[in-house]
Structures are given as C-alpha cells and as structure tokens.
C-alpha cells in the first residue's frame, strides 16, 4: 500500500481565499483523523471519522473549518475563508480500529496563508 | 479527559550519549501508550507502543520505553544516540474502553544530536 496520501504537499494562499486539503487513507482502514501542527500548540486533533461518519469534531477551531468524507477512500478539510493564523502543517492519519491500533500518518500539507 | 505532558521541549546531546525523554499522562483508567517520531521534513512514524504485557517495550532503532503505572509515566530511552536520531518525539495516550477513541499527543520534544 502507498500509505496515507495527502495533497497538496504545500499550499500558499492569500487571506480570505478558500483552501481545500485532501486525504486518501490506507485501504481498509475505518478511522480517519485530521490533525493540525503548529509551533505554539503542537499536534492537535481537529476531527475524526469512523466508517465515513464524523464522530468528534470538537477540535475544529471555528465554523470556517469543515471536513467531509464522502467515501471510504477520500476526505477533505476545507477552510473558508482562510486567515494567516491558519498557517500550519495539516496531517491526515488513518487506522484500522482504534485504541490499540497504530495511526498511520500522511506526509502533511504545509499551509501558508498570507 | 486524558492529557499528556512531555517534560522537555528541547534536548541537545552528543553522539553516543544516553537518552531519556520523559512522558507523563493523566487518566485514571487503562491506557494504550505510544511514542511517535517525526524526522525533519517527514511525517510522524510509530516508534513503539504499549497496550498490555511486559511494561518494558522495545521499538525500532534501539529505542525502548518503560510503562510505570504507579507513576503514570512512559519514558523513552536509548542507550547511545546517533546523529540520525535528530527528530521530534511525541508521546501519545489513548484510553481503553472509555468512550474515547482518539490519540492525545504531548507537545513533543525536539532532540538534536551533535556529531
């Protein structure tokens, strides 16, 4: 398997623009997680899905953030409108089951909002 | 809610020095514990994990961690570090059968190994 795939790897945009980040989990994994990593706050869980259904979105910072998982092999994280403080690395991870199971991380999308 | 505390934000060592990175968690029930590593410019990778059995867990690249339940700790150790161990290390905890099904990460410890 190719592992968790994220696109784009880098995104530079201007404040106010819409940003869409994409993730393809490992085939067969039933959990998908979106994380944000910043110097100030470390690694934060934003939202996670189980079998394509959002389970906990309490980590989503604001209504400007939304995430979808239309099928088992694809998820998006959207920021609209984007702000400079959204600049961070966004990681997607997937796992088969939870609790004891290892989460496999994608390479991340480095987002810079000017 | 569970939380994870990593004692040091930055650690600087010379090659061949011994390493111990502290990790404490707060949760009263049974936990699964993980150490992830993030090499410069790369994504997080699993280093080792504990969920039952022998509290001394051996991982990849010579790393090990010891789960001490009475101290709520899961410290990472390596007897002799190499320059290639330069990376950021994250401790994480997942509570078993608690209704929580997410990994809570510590803030990370940046390890710099000088040659």
The confidence score (pLDDT) of residue B99 equals: 57
Neighboring chain A residues of B88 at a CB cutoff of 8 Å:
none
Contact yes or no for A48 and B102 at CB 8 A: yes
User: Cis peptide leading into A81, omega within 30 of 0?
Assistant: yes
The pLDDT, as a whole number, for residue A1 is 62
**How confident is residue B100, by pLDDT bands cut at 50, 70 and 90?**
low
In this predicted structure, the answer to whether residue B98 has a pLDDT above a threshold of 80 is: no
For A49-87, letters b (16+ CB in 10 Å) and e give beeeebebeebbeeeebebebeebbebebebeebeeebb
Interchain contact, B32 vs A56, CB within 8 Å: no
pLDDT at A102: 82
B97: pLDDT strictly greater than 80 = no
For B105, the closest of A31, A43, A98 (CB atoms) is A43
The reply to whether residue B96 touches residue A108, judged by beta carbons under 8 angstroms, is no
pLDDT value of position B37: 95
Question: Which parts of chain A sit beneath pLDDT 50?
Answer: none
Q: Locate the DSSP E strands across A1-114.
A: 5-7, 10-13, 19-24, 31-38, 42-50, 53-56, 65-71, 74-79, 88-95, 104-105, 109-113
């Amino acid at each position: 398997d190719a592992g968790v795939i994220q696109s784009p790897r880098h995104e530079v945009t201007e404040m106010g623009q819409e940003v869409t980040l994409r993730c393809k989990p490992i085939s067969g994994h039933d959990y998908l997680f979106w994380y944000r990593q910043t110097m100030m706050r470390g690694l934060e869980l934003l939202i996670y899905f189980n079998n394509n259904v959002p389970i906990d979105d309490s980590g989503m910072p604001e209504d400007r953030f939304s995430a979808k998982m239309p099928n088992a092999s694809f998820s998006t994280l959207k920021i609209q409108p984007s702000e400079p403080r959204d600049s961070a690395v966004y990681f997607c991870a997937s796992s088969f089951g939870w609790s004891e199971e290892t989460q496999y991380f994608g390479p991340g999308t480095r987002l810079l909002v000017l | 809610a569970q939380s994870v505390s990593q004692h040091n934000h930055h650690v600087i060592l010379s090659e061949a020095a011994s390493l111990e990175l502290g990790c404490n968690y707060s949760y009263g029930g049974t936990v699964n514990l993980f150490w992830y590593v993030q090499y410069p410019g790369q994504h997080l990778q699993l280093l080792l994990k504990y969920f039952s059995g022998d509290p001394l867990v051996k991982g990849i690249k010579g790393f090990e961690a010891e789960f001490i339940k009475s101290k709520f700790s899961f410290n990472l150790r390596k007897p002799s570090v190499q320059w290639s161990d330069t990376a950021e290390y994250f401790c994480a905890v997942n509570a078993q059968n608690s209704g929580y099904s997410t990994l809570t990460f510590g803030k990370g410890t940046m390890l710099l190994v000088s040659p």
